Homo-oligomer: A and B are copies of this chain.
Amino acid sequence: MTTYCVKFLPYDMSIDASEGDTIIRAALEAGVHVNASCGGEGVCGKCRVIIEDGVVEGGISEKLSDADQEKGYRLACQAKVKSDLVVRIPVESTIDHSVLKMQAAPRRTAHIKEMDFNELKEKGLFVAPVEKKYLELPEPTAQDNLPDITRLISFLNLTHDEHRLEVDLSVIRKIPDVMREDDFKVTATLVRPVRKIGKTRIINVEPGDATQRSYAIAVDIGTTTIYGQVIDLITGEVLAEHGEFNGQISYGEDVISRIVYAEKAGGLERLHAVVTSTINGVLKKIIKHSKIDPDGISTITLAGNTTMTQLMLKVNPRFIRRSPYVPAATLYPPIKAVSLGLELGEHVIALVYPAVSSYVGGDIVAGVMGSGIYLSDDLTLYLDVGTNAEIVIGNKDWLACAACSAGPAFEGGGLKFGMRAAKGAIEDFSLDPVTLEPMIVTIGNVRPKGICGSGLIIMVATLFEMGIINNLGKFDHDLDTPRIREDNGVYEFVLAWKDETQIDRDVVLTEIDIENLIRAKGAIYSGCMTLLTEVGMGIDDIKHIILAGGFGSYVDLERAMTIGLLPEMDPGKVTFIGNGSLMGARMSSLTNRIRKDVVEVTKKMTNFELSDTLSYMDNYIAALFLPHTNMDQFPKLKARLEARKGLWK
């Protein structure tokens, strides 16, 4: 994709933008404010900018007079980058010049990290868990009438130096016909033991040379969504990926309501059947899409939280929700995929990710394994945020973990105008420092109808940093703007007036919304602090942050640090790994090194039940501020706030 340099005047900020990006998105990226209230639909006509140099496409509107168009005025939300540009934002001349220098930091999301197949090989971490061996066997004769299986095993011994082999009944069932289909040329699929002392298991035989058809499936069983991937074991490539809503949603949105349902008569069987059916739907799609021969699939690796895992294995999770929160098991034996109701070949082995506890499940362990933090010298914070947030802190020597309930704020839940990250959700925001006029950009560039999680974080950070709200999240009532108002005793900020929205009502952000966010980020930050406290370390010791889950892909790192959700650090040290659970499942499909290490890692992972940990409440109360009671933990923010003192108000 071609990128161009876009320079914004008078701020003298430059940014690289892709061809076709709108000017308003480029401005947001650069941290440059442009008034805008229609979300990018082009109807409010507020986002007027002057193209001083370069070529744009579009941006001409009836909202602009012919004369203005002549002068180079365009609507920033409609004009698309077609060359290097110089764009001037018209600002009030009264603005103090220093304010111009105080623009917010540019948008920074975490850089994406994917462990690579070749990297694995280079690091010596690649231990093939599945290998296919091609054999040309001699035809039996009266003098040499070994049983078919014995013939196979003998030649695996003889010509491939394979020992300690065991064989599945399904292979015994297939072998007589398979051997004779292509003249005693066969391919055997060997599943390696995790430890050398174990046995290599022959799980499949195919006629002819099938060594190049070698695939694995990785599945993340999320409470909300189930993702699956087809992986080529020869190249390490992901051949197809697909996600579908977990069919169990109809039986409850969260794990607790699923457990409650599972306790009813027939409930466990129902939830097991439903999740299996969703997985089968995903399998069907990814197998079709990848165009592979499904016979070439040898393993399916599944990772999920402890409840999802138990439901998938038809293990009643009833005691997971009862103190002292005991799961049935955290390590599971390899199982025939068909015995779980999965529609895969009879030979396919299902490997289930081990968990640490009832609330630190296989999904997190998979993330820890896939991200490799258990191999790192540096202290790393691993954070998977959804409705529940799972936190892991540690390095190659130790790992501490905890789960905390963040509530639905990060997914846009529990807010007056909260919504999921869908069309019409305000996902980006800035404020004119003088007029307090907002710039509002929505998903899909349509008129706004609500606020999603990423938008919320940016709004609260912006309002706080500009002094519109204080460190308790309360509005400054003295500000002279109609946008701050009281409604039934609750103060709120009008993001978009009724006629600028899709819903014929003002879209507002209330102090209660802000409170929800503060509690959510406070729970996570204090969770991290508690783990650190318990191991006698401090927030400064964290050298890297790894974000997992959908949340990690869109969160603006600077603003997340501003509100005190993430500890303050160089955003370059924050990595996003996407779906950590799926990534871990994929990595385990590719190398046995992970399966070998995982048992030790789960043993090493000390689980803290936060509610039972004394320091947690203190840490939580200290974190119910923007960004935190202890500003010394946020030195850069502290400096910025001090530099700005007196510029506004």
Q: Chain A: residues with CB nearer than 8 A to chain B?
A: 140-150, 166-169, 172-173, 175-177, 180, 197, 313-316, 318-319, 323-333, 335, 339, 357-358, 609, 612
> Inside 8 A of A147's CB, which chain B residues have their CB?
326-330, 357
Report the bound CA distance from A167 to B334 in whole Å.
10
A173 / chain B contacts, CB cutoff of 8 Å: 313-316, 328
14 A-B residue pairings within 8 Å (CB atoms): A140-B324, A145-B357, A145-B358, A147-B328, A148-B326, A149-B329, A150-B329, A169-B315, A169-B333, A169-B335, A169-B339, A172-B332, A175-B328, A339-B339
Could you say which of B150, B176, B331, B609 contacts A142, with CB atoms under 8 Å apart?
B609
A150 touches B335 (CB 8 A): no
The reply to whether A177 and B316 form a contact with Cβ atoms under 8 Å apart is yes
Give Cα A358–Cα B612 distance, bound, in whole angstroms: 65
Give the nearest-CB partner of A324 in chain B.
Answer: B145
- What residues of B have a CB within 8 angstroms of the CB of A331 in the complex? 149-150
- Extra contacts besides A142-B323, A144-B324, A145-B609 (9): CB < 8 Å: A141-B324, A142-B612, A145-B324, A147-B330, A148-B329, A167-B333, A169-B339, A172-B332, A176-B318
With a cutoff of 8 Å between Cβ atoms, the chain B residues found around residue A327 in the complex are 147-148
Partner of A176, one of B172, B180, B314, B319: B319
Tell me the minimal C-beta distance from A595 to chain B in angstroms.
15
Which B residues lie within 8 Å of A168 (CB)?
A: 333
Per assembly, the copies of the chain total 2
Q: Are the C-beta atoms of B329 and A172 separated by less than 8 Å? A: yes
In the complex the two chains form, is A333's CB within 8 Å of B166's CB? yes
When chains A and B are docked, how far (Å) is the Cα of A180 from the Cα of B324?
13
CB distance from A401 to the nearest CB of B (A): 14
Would A328 and B148 count as touching, CB distance under 8 A? yes
**Nearest B residue to A199, CB-CB:** B198
Q: In whole angstroms, how far apart are the Cα atoms of A333 and B149 in the complex?
A: 12
Which of chain B's residues has its CB closest to A180's CB? B319
Q: Are A167 and B329 in contact (CB under 8 A)?
A: yes
Distance, CA A167 to CA B332, complexed state (A): 8
Known: A176-B319, A316-B176. A325 touches B145 (CB 8 A): yes
Residues of B within 8 A of A326 (CB): 140, 145-148, 176
Return chain B residues, CB-CB under 8 Å to A323: 142
Closest to A320 in B: B176
Min distance, Cβ A469 to any Cβ of chain B, angstroms: 38
Residue with the greatest number of chain B CB neighbours at <10 A, chosen from A146, A148, A326, A331 = A326
What CA separation (Å) do A326 and B152 show in the bound complex?
A: 13
Query: How many angstroms between the C-alpha atoms of A205 and B245 in the bound complex?
Result: 36
Q: Determine which residue in A331, A335, A357 has the highest number of CB atoms from chain B within 10 A of its CB, and name it.
A: A331
- Chain B's nearest CB lies how many Å from the CB of A320? 9
A177: chain B residues within 8 A (beta carbon): 316
CB closest chain-B residue, reference A172: B329
Determine how close the nearest CB of chain B comes to the CB of A206; give it in whole angstroms: 16
Listed from nearest, the 7 A-B pairs whose CB atoms lie closest are: A149-B329, A145-B324, A172-B329, A142-B324, A147-B330, A147-B327, A176-B328
Find chain B residues with CB under 8 A from A358 CB.
145
Task: Closest B residue to A197 by CB, please name it.
Answer: B197
**In the complex, chain B residues whose CB is within 8 Å of the CB of A329:** 147-150, 167, 172, 175
Closest chain B residue to A152 by CB distance? B329
Assess the A332–B169 pair: CB atoms within 8 A: yes
CB distance from A255 to the nearest CB of B (A): 16
Cα distance A1–B555 in the bound complex, in angstroms: 93
CB of A138, distance to nearest CB on chain B (Å): 12
Which of A145, A313, A335 gathers the greatest number of chain B CB atoms within 10 Å?
A145
